[in-house]
Structure 1
Amino acid sequence: MLLPREGIESLFANRGDKDSSKFKLEKSYSDRVDGNLSVPVDCASAEVTGAASSSQVWSITLEKNHIPLTELDALQAKRKMDMNHTFIQQLKKSQQVLYVVHETIEASEETSYEESTEAGGGFMAQFYAKFNVKGTRVKKQSMTIPKGCALAFRAIQLGITDESWYLDYFPYETRTMFVSDGSSPGKLVELEVELKENCQILSTLSPDLLRIFLKAIKAVMRDTNLFQELTQKMDAVLHDTGGSGLETESPDLKELLSSLQNSSRDLLLELARAIAYTLDALDELMEDQLVLLLEALEEKILPQWLKLVGSILEHDIEDTAGPFSVDPALFSFPQEKEQELTIALVGMSGVKLQNDGSALCMDNAFPAVAALYVSLYILSLLSNSD
């Protein structure tokens, strides 16, 4: 697409302008932990027993290929853009953005990677209600990286005006870094967009299907074996783009998997994506939090929890070092136990709430708070059938 301005010449006068270097990464890790824990805390108590082991083994030789941006800049005087090229015409019609890759990290030889994690034991917690969570989780992952596979790359946006082109070091952004009143909108809006992209299909389900979905999600929140089974089946659907392998012996999952099996291919993929997204969020939560969410479903207080966590995310909690304020009414409940459960729930995600409405975030709390918000959002959506 870059035509010589005069005569015929190679893209780079010196073939040595493309820099290449190799380096090797190796890692081997294995551990095992056994133990038990019993903690009484006021009106709550918890007992945990179990064992866990994990291992990772990998070694890879990487090659870094790099074309300096100064060399690309120098091409502007030598090459012009072919505005009649079909690809450029399609970009112009669709208003798409064009990037050029100027650095890659590639596998210089075929590499295998293996990882396994196993956890087993029992968990019992009592927060004015009692639920049992027990079972064994086994996660095994393996993959082969072919030679020449690009594992990472760096790109820069291209700007095109008539036949000229340039490297856009500072592409236009609709949002500004500087806010006149000194406040930050946080990432709640971005998270809600992500939620709609992944879970919009759930809002279109009938009340009967919502009850089926909620029943299955509640079951996997109580049983780690069922959680693992549903996760594996959804992964299989998304990778195979088919509905095979959706049979189960579990009565808690049978209705859900049967409904999926009878869905069209496109609907199946959308529903599987929404379920997998839900499981990913729940998997980020502590087991104590899953217990509290199950109780909140019974107590009908999920909507208020959702508003509270949403109000926390309206603050820029990733960069906020000191305390900030939330509306105390959002964690004010008729019964004291509900307020205690609320403070405990968000505290497990790294946010310490005070009765006066002040809050303080621990470092790196955003992922845990975001996962809690997603879980509350989806559970509230599914429980609308009740």
Structure 2
Amino acid sequence: MFKQVTQSVVHQMDPKGDLVPVHGIFSHEHFRPLCLLTRKREAIFFTSPRYKPSRYRLDDVLLSGEDNKSTESLFPNGGGEASSKFTVMITSNTIGRGDGSLSVSVDPASIDVKGAASLSRGWSIKLDKKYIPLPKLEALKTVRKINVNHSFIQQLKKTRENLYLVHEIIETLEETSCEESTMAQGSFMAQIYTKFHAKGTREDKQSITIPKGCTLAFRAIQLDIRDALWDFNHFKLRQMTETISYGSSRGRLGEVEKEVKENCQILSNLSSKLFVAVLKAIKAVMRDRNLFQELTQKMEAVLDETGSCELKTESPDLKDLLSSLQDSSPLVLKLAEAITYTLDALDELKEDQLLLLLESLEEKIVSQQLKLVGNILEHDIERGKGPFSMDTTLLSFSREEQQKLTFAMVEMSGVKLQKDGSAVCTGNAFPATAALYTSLYVLNLLSNSG
């Protein structure tokens, strides 16, 4: 639910800007001002850049200057020109989709954001924007040089990764409790909830308490390091989906297929034992968010370690997989990359979609769903230019429940299907549909192998 809160805040405050939501509450401390980050590999379904925390701050990799001052002097202790306070409110007392609104008073410290979503939500968050003025950072680079012998800098040279600096954050001014209630739409979804969550009611309530001073979103800028000198790359990286235009008769399906095959090729060459272990782990994390976070962190640990790393877990669903990833051989690293890529795609989907994917596996209709979503990607769904026609043979299932399941899952990615083959998408449905295709591709591969 934390990710939903941060995404809502970013969507209301900066929908087309470069403000990045923090995805996990346990990692928020690594996205403070002056923290150093690296970027995750680009994926076609990402709606915003993804960053990995490094556990280092700028001061850690700089040589001492003549004045021997810390970079802490750049960051004001509350108030001043580098801090502004405001309140974000998202409230809704009914289940349904409504229009949002933004009102800004003459006083720049007073911003009120209100909106309704498809969920029943009710929360208000008081926020503080803190930032390091870029002119101060520009001045710092002339008097403080990079410690080229620092282990982290040496590692970056080997991996050729780019380095990013957090220079602005949005944080909570006080402890805040957020709650949302998801009502199952019809008896079908109620059955799915009961089956995978052992819940007998149709209403699913979630709540979270966000502590004071928690980073919800941030802005980062790339650092260019040449020997001991460093500078800023002010070029703003646009989203892949906004800058690339193919004009292919197959839409962007070919591009999505190419990316998923490149990232998941190793999954086709696993032993039967590993096939079972990977599929077991993926299915487990799809129904349990805590396990999802654990596996994500474990895979990042595998990729970040230069030597062998010990992977322990209390989960029997993850134990078989993690025990197979105890060394850092090239094959193990490739497998960790494929699993990470899969988790990234699943993370772009709604929780209800994950449950529907699990049901699809049990119904053995993932292969047909993959073809159907691929057919959708052959159309221009990025700009949502009116209705389009689907291959009706892909919409026919052996049972009505399977069709209903599939239609509901696809609609959650922004494409509404009709039994007569007509379809329409709302806005830019491409990223979510590409994430759904990627998820179906991996599940189809794992469920039909071994």
Could you say whether these structures have the same fold, taking a TM-score greater than 0.5 normalized by the shorter chain as the test?
Answer: yes
Alignment of 1:245-324 (within 5 A): 245-261=310-326, 263-324=327-388
The residue that corresponds to 1:378 in the other structure is: 442
Flag the 1:203–1:54 CA change in 2: closer, same or farther, 3 A. Answer: farther
Flag the 1:383–1:251 CA change in 2: closer, same or farther, 3 A. Answer: same
The residue that corresponds to 2:404 in the other structure is: 340
**Contact 2:130–2:169 (CA under 8 A) maintained in structure 1:** yes
The residue that corresponds to 1:13 in the other structure is: none
Q: Deviation string for 1:55-89 (max 9, x for gaps)?
A: 77541333699xxxxxxxxxxxxxxxxxxxxxxxx
The residue that corresponds to 1:226 in the other structure is: 291
Alignment of 1:39-50 (within 5 A): none
**Contact 1:186–1:316 (CA under 8 A) maintained in structure 2:** yes
Distance 1:219 1:53 in 2: 33
- Aligned to 1:349, the other structure's residue is in SS state coil
* Equivalent in 205, 213, 236 of residue 301 of structure 2: 236
* Equivalent in 395, 418, 434 of residue 331 of structure 1: 395
The residue that corresponds to 1:20 in the other structure is: none
1:211 aligns with 2:276: yes
* Equivalent in 131, 150, 158 of residue 59 of structure 1: 131
- Aligned to 1:153, the other structure's residue is in SS state coil
Distance 1:25 1:209 in 2: 52
Distance 1:54 1:239 in 2: 36
Shift of 1:385: 3.4
CA RMSD in angstroms, aligned pairs only: 4.3
- Aligned to 2:196, the other structure's residue is in SS state strand
**Contact 2:307–2:328 (CA under 8 A) maintained in structure 1:** no
Distance 2:128 2:261 in 1: 35
Distance 2:93 2:316 in 1: 31
Identity percentage over the alignment?
53
How many pairs does the alignment contain? 291
Shift of 1:241: 4.0
The residue that corresponds to 1:357 in the other structure is: 421
Alignment of 1:22-33 (within 5 A): none
1:150 aligns with 2:232: yes
- Aligned to 2:324, the other structure's residue is in SS state helix
Distance 2:331 2:127 in 1: 37
**Contact 1:48–1:123 (CA under 8 A) maintained in structure 2:** yes
**Contact 1:50–1:120 (CA under 8 A) maintained in structure 2:** yes
Flag the 1:233–1:358 CA change in 2: closer, same or farther, 3 A. Answer: same
Alignment of 1:152-167 (within 5 A): 152-153=234-235
Flag the 1:235–1:32 CA change in 2: closer, same or farther, 3 A. Answer: farther
Distance 2:231 2:288 in 1: 39
- Aligned to 2:393, the other structure's residue is in SS state helix
**Equivalent AA in structure 2 for residue 328 of structure 1:** T
5+ residue gaps, structure 1, are 1-23, 40-45, 66-105, 156-174
**Contact 1:241–1:269 (CA under 8 A) maintained in structure 2:** no
More deviation, 274-283/121-130: 121-130
Distance 1:140 1:245 in 2: 30
More deviation, 357-366/303-312: 357-366
- Aligned to 2:333, the other structure's residue is in SS state helix
- Aligned to 1:352, the other structure's residue is in SS state strand
Shift of 1:334: 1.5
Distance 2:360 2:197 in 1: 16
5+ residue gaps, structure 2, are 1-80, 97-117, 139-163, 199-203, 224-228, 238-243
Shift of 1:115: 6.6
The residue that corresponds to 2:155 in the other structure is: none
Structure 1 length normalisation: TM-score? 0.62
**Equivalent AA in structure 2 for residue 223 of structure 1:** D
Greater C-alpha radius of gyration:
1
